[in-house]
Amino acid sequence: MSAYLVACRFALLAMAKNRLAAVLLIVFIPVWITVAKTLTTPETFPFRLRATGTWLRAGGDEITMISGSLNAVSLLVGFLMFSAARRTRAFDRRLTAAGYPRTALLGAKLTTLAVASLLVSSYATAWMLLFWTPLQPFLLGLAVLAVCLVYGAMGMCLALFLRGEVEGLVTIIMTSIIDLAPQNPVASTTADKALVELLPSYGSLQTSLAAGFTRNATVSPLLHSAAWLTALTATALAAFALRTRSHPPLRADDRRRVARRGARPRRRGEG
C-alpha cells in the first residue's frame, strides 16, 4: 500500500508540473466553449438521437458547444496522459528493474487517469453551465467524464508505441477530429449512420445530447465508452507489463558459468 501511495504522489506531481496542459486547461477550454456558443447560429435544428431513435430539436449553438467541449477535453486529457506516460517510461523501467512492484505503478497510472479526467470534465461542464442550462446537468457531466477517460487511456496506450510528443499530439488531434466531426448533427449528414457507433466518443456525445435536451436518463450509450475504455486500458497496461517485466533469476549452473567467465583472466587482444 505504501508503494502505491508513493507512486501516486510522484505521478500526480509529475502531471501537475505539465505547464502546457495547465495553460490549455485554463485557457483553451473556456475559449473553445465561448466561441462555440457565441459564434454559432442559434437556429433550431431537428436531429435524430440514434441511441433512442427519437427526434429532437435544439439550437445549433448548443449542439456545437457540446461537440466542441467533448473535442476540447478529449484533446487535453489525451495529451496530458500521453505526456505523463512518455516522460516516466524510462524511469518506470528502472524502478521495476530495481524491484519496485509493478502493481503499484499500474495503480498509480490508473489513479492519475481518474484524477485528470475528473478534474478536466468538471471544469468543462462548469463552463458549459455558465452559458446553458441542460435538462440533466449530472448526466452531462458523466458523459464528459466518460470521453475524458477514453482519451486518457488512449494517450497512455499511444505513449508506449510513439517516441515523441509531436507524434502523439498529432495522432490524438487527428483521431479526435475523425471521431467527432462525423457525429455533429449540425455539421454532418453522417451523424445518423450506423458506423458512428464504432467511434470512441459515440457514447459520450449521444448521452450529452440526451442530457441536454431530454428528461430521459439515457445511459446505455455509455456502454460503448466502457468498451473502448476497457480495451484501451487493457492494451496500455499489458504493454507496460511486458516492457517492464523482470528477468527470471539465473539458475545455479548459469551463475557458475557467469562467475567462471568473469573470473577468467583476459587474454592479450581482448577488450
Residue 198 lies in a domain: yes
The number of folded domains in the chain is 1
Residue 270 lies in a domain: no
Better pLDDT: 11 or 140: 140
pLDDT digits (tens, 9 = 90+) for 18-67: 888 888 888 888 998 888 888 888 888 888 888 888 888 888 889 989 99
Residue 168 lies in a domain: yes
Residue 161 near residue 63 (C-beta atoms within 8 A): no
pTM given for the model: 0.86
Domain around 16:
2-263
Residue 269 lies in a domain: no
pLDDT at 271: 44
C-alpha grid cell, residue 213: 435536451
Residue 76 near residue 123 (C-beta atoms within 8 A): no
Residue 271 lies in a domain: no
pLDDT digits (tens, 9 = 90+) for 188-215: 666 667 788 899 999 999 999 999 999 8
In angstroms, the CA 146 to CA 202 distance is 10
Residue 201 near residue 207 (C-beta atoms within 8 A): no
| DSSP-H helix ranges across 40-136 | 60-87, 89-97, 102-131
Residue 186 lies in a domain: yes
Residue 268 lies in a domain: no
